[in-house]
Amino acid sequence: MTIRRIDDCLSTREGRLFIEECDALDLLRQFESPLFVFSEDQLRRNARRFRQAFQAGWPDAEVVVMPAAKANWLLAIQRILADEGCGCDIYSAGELTAALDAGIEPGRISVNGVPKDAEHIRRSIAAGCRITVDSLEEVDLIEAAAAQSSQPALVRLRLKPVLADFIRHSDFVAEGLAPTDIAALAYKGGLTFEQVMAIGPRLLQAPNVVLVGFHQHHGRHKRTTRYWEAQMTAYAAEIGRVCRALGGYRPLEIDIGGGFAIPRDPFNAATNYSEPVQYAALHAISKALSLLGARPRYAVMARLVDTITGHPNRRPAPTIETYAEVCTRTLRRELPKHGIETRGLTLQLEPGRALHGDAGIHLTTVKAIKRTTTPIRWNVIVVDTTEFWFTGGRYEHHLHHYLFANKTDAPMTGKADIIGRSCYGDRLLPAVPTPHVEIGDVLALLDTGAYQEVSMSNFNALPRPASVLVTGDRAALIRRRETEEDVFRRDMLPPHLAR
Taking the least distance from each CB to ligand PLP, the nearer of 331 and 354 is 354
Q: What is the DSSP letter of 68?
A: B
Is 358 in contact with 449 (CB distance < 8 Å)? Answer: yes
Q: Which residue's CB is nearer to ligand PLP, number 12 or number 216?
A: 216
> In the bound complex, what is the minimum distance in angstroms from residue 380's beta carbon to ligand PLP?
32
Q: What is the DSSP string of 384-431?
A: S--GGG-HHHHHTT----EEETT-TTS---EEEEEE-SSSS--EEEEE
Q: Is the Cβ of residue 259 or residue 360 nearer to ligand PLP in the bound state? A: 259
Which SS3 state, helix, strand or coil, does residue 12 take? strand
First to last CA, the chain: 63
**Nearest to ligand PLP of 200, 352 (CB atom):** 352
For the CB of residue 67, give the shortest distance to ligand PLP in the complex, in Å: 8
Instruction: Report, in Å, the least distance between residue 374 CB and ligand PLP.
Output: 45
Asked if 351 is part of the footprint of ligand PLP (rule: CB under 6 A), the reply reads yes
- Which listed residue (219, 360, 420, 449) binds ligand PLP by CB under 6 A? 219
Task: List the interface residues with ligand PLP, window 226-265 (CB under 6 A).
Answer: 257-260
Least distance to ligand PLP, CB of residue 134, Å: 9
Closest contact distance (angstroms) between CB of 391 and ligand PLP is: 14
Tell me which of 51, 116, 217, 297 binds ligand PLP, using CB under 6 A: 217
Size of the site for ligand PLP (CB under 6 A): 16
Residue 387 engages ligand PLP in binding (rule: CB under 6 A): no
Cα–Cα distance for residue pair 75/81, rounded to 1 Å: 10
Give the contacts of 303 (CB within 8 A, at least 6 positions apart): none
Write each residue from 82 to 121 as x if it is in contact with ligand PLP (CB under 6 A), else as -, in one continuous string.
-------x----------------------x---------
Looking at the Cβ atoms of 132 and 233, the one nearer to ligand PLP is 132
Nearest to 346 by CA among 156, 184, 217, 151: 156
For ligand PLP, the binding residues in 36-75 under the rule CB under 6 A are 68, 71
Cα separation of 357 and 35, whole Å? 16
Widest Cα–Cα separation across the chain: 82
352 lies in the site for ligand PLP, by CB under 6 A: yes
Q: Least distance in Å: CB of 216 to ligand PLP?
A: 9
Report which residue type is found at 385.
Answer: T
- Other residues' Cβ atoms within 10 Å of the Cβ of residue 126: 15
Q: By CB under 6 A, is residue 353 in contact with ligand PLP?
A: yes
Report the C-alpha gap between 293 and 11 in whole angstroms.
Answer: 51
Closest residue to ligand PLP: CB criterion: 352
The sheet that has 88-90: what strands, in order across it?
63-65, 346-349, 253-255, 209-215, 153-158, 130-133, 109-111, 88-90
User: Residue 156 CB, nearest distance to ligand PLP (Å)?
Assistant: 11
Q: Find the part of the chain contacting ligand PLP (CB under 6 A) among 215-223, 301-309, 379-387, 476-484.
A: 215-223
Q: How many CB atoms lie within 10 A of CB 269?
A: 21
- Beta carbon nearer to ligand PLP, 170 or 408: 170
Angle at Cα 302 formed by Cα 296 and Cα 303, nearest 5°? Answer: 100
Q: Which CB atom, from 155 or from 462, has the smaller least distance to ligand PLP?
A: 155
Nearer of residues 222 and 407 to ligand PLP, judged by Cβ: 222
416-454 in b/e burial notation, b at 16+ Cβ within 10 A? bbbbbbbeeebebbebbebbebeeebbbbbbbbbbbbbb
Residues 6+ apart with CB under 8 A from 56: 324, 328
Q: In this complex, which beta carbon is closest to ligand PLP, that of residue 221 or of residue 479? A: 221
Which one, 28 or 347, has the nearer CB to ligand PLP? 347
Of the ranges 39-47, 164-172, 351-359, 481-489, which one interacts with ligand PLP (CB under 6 A)? 351-359
* Residue closer to ligand PLP (CB basis): 255 or 441: 255
Label residue 140 left, alpha or beta by phi (over 0 means left) and psi (-120 to 50 means alpha).
alpha
Q: Does 223 bind ligand PLP (CB under 6 A)?
A: no
CB of 94 to ligand PLP, least distance (A): 15
Residues at the site binding ligand PLP, with contacts judged by CB under 6 A: 68, 71, 89, 112, 217, 219-220, 257-260, 350-354
